[in-house]
Amino acid sequence: MRKQRKGSLSHGDNVTKAEAKMVRKMTDLCLRELSKKDHELGASYASMKQRCSVHVKYRRQCSYGGSAGITIDLWSLRDGETHMSEYAAIRNDPVIGSMDCGDVETRVLCVVAHEVAHHVQYRYGPRTRWLAKKYKKPHGEGWQAIYRILRSRVVNPRAVPQEEAA
């Protein structure tokens, strides 16, 4: 993968500009929520957006997030997958656990929120009062707190919970 500029949007050759823009828009939605003063991250939406590079690919691999930004693989969009499976430690959590998202776009939004939570965890965690002591573990308490904000305020209101889908 080539080196990205801060806040950039890039995509693989087999990803359309429209798909990449959709992922960037979803990323911005998550960052806008986390930039609100009640979350106390101490960063404006504009600065958070500038510091989060987004790369969109289709390789049937994992998506991931780190301090520089996120990479989203669109396999679930292309396959029509609507179920979001989470790690065993949080799978049954009523807010951040596994669920049927109802549609593929909401499932992609859920993946984006998951990876944005990692980005914010590593980028802002060390300098954020409520995250400083708990940001290091990849799916630990700090990440879960960030992901819980995104799932409860951005993703879940658009989704169909697993229990209702059955």
Per-residue pLDDT reduced to its tens digit, 15-37: 999 999 999 999 999 999 999 99
The reported pLDDT for the residue numbered 94 is: 96
Structural domain contains residue 34: yes
Quick one: average pLDDT of 86-109?
96
39-97 pLDDT, tens digit each: 999 999 999 999 999 999 999 999 999 999 999 999 999 999 999 999 999 999 999 99
Does position 7 have pLDDT exceeding 90, yes or no?
no
Domains identified in the chain, total number: 1
Distance, CA of 52 to CA of 84 (rounded, Å) = 23
128-144 pLDDT, tens digit each: 999 999 999 999 999 99
Structural domain contains residue 91: yes
Mean pLDDT score of the chain, rounded to an integer? 93
Structural domain contains residue 110: yes
Structural domain contains residue 42: yes
Structural domain contains residue 163: no
The contacts of residue 18 (CB under 8 Å, 6+ apart) are none
- Please give the structure tokens belonging to residue 2: 């080539």
The reported pLDDT for the residue numbered 3 is: 52
Domain range spanning residue 21?
Answer: 9-157
